[in-house]
Structure 1
Amino acid sequence: MRLPVLIFDIETVTDLKSGAHLYQLDLPEAELEQALMKLRRQEAGTDFQRLPLHEIVCISGLWIDEHGMKLFSFSREHDSEATMLKKFLSIFDKRHPTLVSWNGSQFDLPVILFRAMYHGLSAPSLFDQGEIDQQKRYNNYQNRYHQRHVDLMDVMAMFNGRHFQKLDDIAYLLGFPGKRVDAGYHVPAFMQSGEWSRLTRYCEGDVLNTWLIYLRWLLLKGQLLLEEHTLWVQHTIQYLHTQPQHADFLSVWQHSSQQTEFTRTDFPEQSVTTPSNESVMPFQSSPSSDI
């Protein structure tokens, strides 16, 4: 595995202000969202808004490097959308991680692009395609077939949209928690009720499921040996034991793991020891200071 790795996910709501400006609507906020949904249904036959009208309310990630792993979230509880984006984009100025997502090439990255432009931000480390750094002509974060950004939904469908699958279904099928911990899309409700911890936990859950699928993907491709895969899984379990907000994730994972022969060993009866410095995971348990 090429370190560092950054698994990420975003949560969004409709940007009512921008929507009103785009469609020249002068309506009370209570009526505006319904009007925008109606217009979108007329345009495309769906309530799912066009990408520039997705306002980011949470960005979560799992950072893995030679020092360990660290979950993090930026949310609207403490930061504006522009500040969240600045924090996230600054990561790529420091390091050039392998970026991993589920549907990131069709949703998360384009939304980040539009919203960064909306706020007048610059992010060449993420969006340069060789104009500045010639090396990125051949391996950049936008190219569908490059490995700098691995969109698992896309690569596991063999780049055929007819084969796209839901993160929830694939994670649960493989013996991981999926979204069974907090099923359904509740982001607007979490925001309205001020349940920011539930919002970040929801987003981080998607990140964790994506990470576990990524490990299985690397095993499939021969980029991880079986014993290496096992150590990464066990290290992830150990790390989550230090994250009390994800106790339910661990509990559902333990139950789901019993449904397949391969994942049944994810939770052995005896406690797992911390990998030594000589193991195939060359890092200590302390989190990275890069995030």
Structure 2
Amino acid sequence: MRLPILIFDIETLTDLKSGAHLYHLDLPEADLEQALMKLRRQESGADFQRLPLHEIVCISGLWIDENGAMTLFSFSREQYSEAEILKKFLSIFDKRHPTLVSWNGSQFDLPVILFRAMYHGLSAPSLFDQGEIDQQKRYNNYQNRYHQRHVDLMDAMAMFNGRHFQKLDDVAHLLGFPGKRGDGAYHVPEYVRAQQWLKLTSYCEGDVLNTWLIYLRWLLLKGQLLAEDHRYWVQATIQYLQHQPQHADFLQVWRETSQHTEFTATDFISPTP
């Protein structure tokens, strides 16, 4: 396992101002979202908005440093503008070059970050350089789906075949992890409107934690992690979360769901001294 590692996830809202500009809409703000949704249905048959119109309201990450220490963090609109969130996240890559891990990051998170960074006039060569500046990145960069600098688990586990894509929630439940615990991304606008920032960051961090646990199982499958090392990391994650009060529910649900597979049934049983 190549350290440091950064597992990340983003949460977004529709950027109503940009949408109004793009479609030449002169409507009250209260009517804009419905109008943009209707236009999107006409374009694609679905409500999911075009990537450049996803305004970032939270980026969460789990950082595992070279010594194996874990740090769970979130940059949200509680304290920062979208531009400030992006600056803080992108600065990580200026200082360090972690293995980046995501679920659907190649198709959603990174393209959204790219468009929104350009919207705000930001520069992020450490993340988006493909060899024009650092020639080594011709052979291993964060954009190429077959490189290892960024591991999009959804893509990799589907063997890079879109017909086999799976939902994070489903795979997490299948493997004995908590999943989204009854929540969904449709709650994000509600959290932001009500300024329920802890709910927003806990939700985003929950996706990060599920992705991390699936990544450990992926490394075990590929032989990049021995069984005893896999168990070590799972136990280290449990111990870390025991000191994170906002994730007491995640830990409790994980304890319950772990009993549904034989492989995870002993995750919460203390080893015999």
2:138 is aligned to 137
* One-letter amino acid of the counterpart of residue 2, structure 2: R
Residue type of the alignment partner of 2:208: V
Specify the SS of the correspondent of 1:204: helix
5+ unaligned residues in a row in structure 1: which ranges?
274-291
AA aligned to 2:74 is S
The whole-number CA distance in structure 2 between the counterparts of 1:77 and 1:154 is: 32
Which residue pairs with 1:53 in the alignment?
A: 53
Q: What is the distance in 2 between the residues matched to 1:253 and 1:184?
A: 20
Deviation at 1:181, TM superposition (A): 5.4
Summarize deviations over 1:155-201 as a string: whole Å, max 9, x none. Answer: 00000000000000000110000011535630000011110000000
Counterpart CA distance in 2 for 1:179 and 1:190 is 15
Identity %: 83
Residue 38 (structure 1) aligns with: 38
The residue aligned with 1:113 is 114
Task: Work out the CA distance in 2 between the residues paired with 1:139 and 1:57.
Answer: 29
2:15 maps to which residue? Answer: 15
Give distance in 2, aligned partners of 1:35 and 1:181. Answer: 29
Which structure 2 residues correspond to residues 158-237 of structure 1 after superposition, within 5 A?
Answer: 158-180=159-181, 182-183=183-184, 185-237=186-238
Per chain length, whose mean CA-contact separation is higher, i.e. which structure has more relative contact order (CA < 8 Å, sep 6+)?
A: 1
Residue 262 of structure 2 aligns with an amino acid whose one-letter code is E
Give the CA RMSD over aligned residues: 1.1
Q: Distance in 2 between matches of 1:194 and 1:170?
A: 30
Amino acid at match of 2:121: G
* Superposition TM-score, scaled by structure 1 size: 0.92
Q: Which runs of 5+ in 2 are unaligned?
A: none
Aligned length: 272
Q: CA deviation at 1:225?
A: 0.1
Q: Distance in 1 between matches of 2:53 and 2:17?
A: 9
Equivalent residue number for residue 3 of structure 1: 3
Give the superposition deviation at 1:65. Answer: 1.2
Task: Report the counterpart of residue 279 of structure 1 in structure 2.
Answer: none
One-letter amino acid of the counterpart of residue 22, structure 2:
L
Q: Secondary structure of 1:49's partner?
A: coil
Cα distance change on mapping 1:57 and 1:272 into 2, 3 Å? farther
Residue 237 of structure 2 aligns to a residue whose secondary structure is helix
